[in-house]
Structure 1
Amino acid sequence: MQFLKILFWCLLAFVAALFTYGNWTSVPLQLWSGMEALVKLPFLLMIAFLLGFLPTYVYNRAVRWRLRQRLTTVERSLAEARAVVTAPTPAYAPTPAYPGPATSHDPVPPLDPVPPVPEGRLV
């Protein structure tokens, strides 16, 4: 694909060079107060092209920059929203972790979890 881009730009430069060579004539340009300027035709066409192209190009870059900024803001807020979402809390308190298996000199059995209280009933 890069080769095709290079080929296109080389072909465009060749056509521009042929156009410049074939149209290297002076064109009178009427200025204010009766003044006249002699300008080469390829230079005049290049100036006219740039006067039409540059404002459009600047506007396009500004729109793309603004949309890229909006997209980054939305992506950042989406990442923050995903980070805030947590797992639901259980209906009962979790049991404390037992330090290890009971030994012969430790008569305390492990704790059983507290059964959940059914919703809508008073105990």
Structure 2
Amino acid sequence: MQFLKYLFWCLLAFMAAVFTFGNWTTVDIQLWGGLIAQVNLPFLLLVTFLAGLVPMWLYHRTARWRLKQRLQTTERTVEALRVSIPTEPTTTVPTATSYATVQP
């Protein structure tokens, strides 16, 4: 299984290299104040991909952290309740007054 994972990443890197080699052109980006930036197209695509990925990744990590914290709090509460509950159940012996007397 590890071999397939390495094969997948190598194939993905090869495809990225072929894409980069085939699209190595400069793109003019108009900035504020009349500035023009000349950026290579693969770099521009990488920056835009990361601009979309990083905020969602950070949101996912914080939501996961919050859920882990809530789960740990709940587990501690359950453990505290288990300690406070007696382990052996108490048995009650029925008394004579608890039964209804039947008269013929």
Specify the code of the residue in structure 1 equivalent to 2:2.
Answer: Q
Structure 1 CA distance for aligned equivalents of residues 96 and 56 of structure 2? 65
- 1:4-83 matches, within 5 Å, as 4-83=4-83
After superposing on structure 2, the runs of 4+ consecutive aligned residues of structure 1 that deviate more than 3 Å are: 88-91, 116-121
Cα distance, 1:22–1:117 mapped onto 2, change above 3 Å: closer
Bigger shift: 80-89 or 18-27?
80-89
Cα distance in 1 for partners of 2:63, 2:79 equals 24
Larger Rg: 1
Residue segments in structure 2 that go unaligned for 5+ positions in a row: 99-104
Matched residue SS, 1:24: coil
Work out the CA distance in 1 between the residues paired with 2:94 and 2:73: 44
Which amino acid in structure 1 is aligned with residue 95 of structure 2?
P
Distance of 1:65 and 1:57 partners within structure 2: 12
Q: How many residues align?
A: 97
Deviation readout 1:25-46 (Å, 9 max, x if unpaired): 0000101121111100000000
Counterpart in 1 of 2:95? Answer: 118
Q: Tell me the C-alpha RMSD between the 2 structures.
A: 2.0
Q: Gapped runs of 5+ residues in structure 1?
A: 92-115
Give the partner amino acid of 2:41. L
Deviations 1:19-72 (A, max 9, x none): 000111000010112111110000000000000000000000001111011111
AA partner of residue 76 (structure 1) = R
Partner-residue secondary structure (3-state), 2:95 = coil
Give the percent of matched residue pairs that are identical in Structure 1 and Structure 2.
54
Give the Cα–Cα distance (whole angstroms) in 2 for the partners of residues 13 and 74 of structure 1.
43
TM-score by length of 1: 0.70
